[in-house]
């Protein structure tokens, strides 16, 4: 999957699940703030990314993925590793 295609799909999936405007998802935006995630719904985002893209965000990686750009890079790199 091309990175642009991956980004578009991720934005659509995340906006749909967490019920936010897709336009609010930008590369530099903070994931937790934009999707209004608390400690419980953060778990749901991790489960959703695994379910939709087959990539697990584990351990210290959770803390490193702060912005959507971080997330796009993390998932894209894992898929192409």
Partner 1 sequence: MEKRVVITGMGIYSCLGKTLDEVRDSLYNGVSGIVLDQERKDLGFRSGLTSKLEVPDLKGQLSRGQRVFMPEPAKYAYAATADALKQAKLDQDYIDAHEIGLLYGNDSTAEPVYKSVETMFRKKNTTLIGSGGIFQSMNSTVTMNLGCIFHLKGINLTVSGACASSSHAIGLGALLIKNGLQNIVVCGGAQEVNPYAVGSFDGISAFSVRESDPTAASRPFDKDRDGLVPGGGAATVIIEEYEHAVKRGAPIIAEIVSWGFSSNGDHISSPNVAGPAKSLEYALLHAKESHGLNVNEIGYVNAHATSTHIGDMNEAKAIDQILGAHKPYVTSTKSQTGHEMWMAGASEVIYSTLMMKNDFVAANLNFNTPDPELPALNIPGERVATHFDTFLSNSFGFGGTNSTIIVRNL
Residues 6+ apart with CB under 8 A from 29: 67, 68
In the complex with partner 1, which residue's Cβ is closer, 24 or 28?
Answer: 24
In the complex, minimum distance from the CB of residue 20 to partner 1, in angstroms, rounded to a whole number: 10
* Beta carbons within 10 angstroms of residue 7's beta carbon: 19
CB of 6 to partner 1, least distance (A): 20
State which residue, 1 or 43, has the beta carbon closest to partner 1: 43
Under the rule (CB under 8 A), what is the footprint of partner 1?
17-19, 36, 38, 40-41, 43-44, 46-47, 50-51, 56
Q: Which is nearer to partner 1, 22 or 36 (CB)?
A: 36
Assess contact for 1 and 53: CB atoms under 8 A: no
């Amino acid at each position: 999957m091309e990175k642009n295609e991956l980004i578009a799909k991720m934005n659509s999936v995340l906006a749909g699940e967490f019920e936010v405007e897709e336009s609010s998802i930008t590369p530099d935006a903070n994931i937790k703030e934009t999707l209004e995630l608390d400690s419980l719904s953060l778990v749901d985002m991790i489960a959703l990314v695994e379910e939709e893209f087959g990539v697990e965000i584990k351990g210290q990686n959770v803390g490193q993925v702060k912005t959507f750009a971080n997330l796009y890079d993390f998932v894209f790199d894992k898929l192409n590793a």
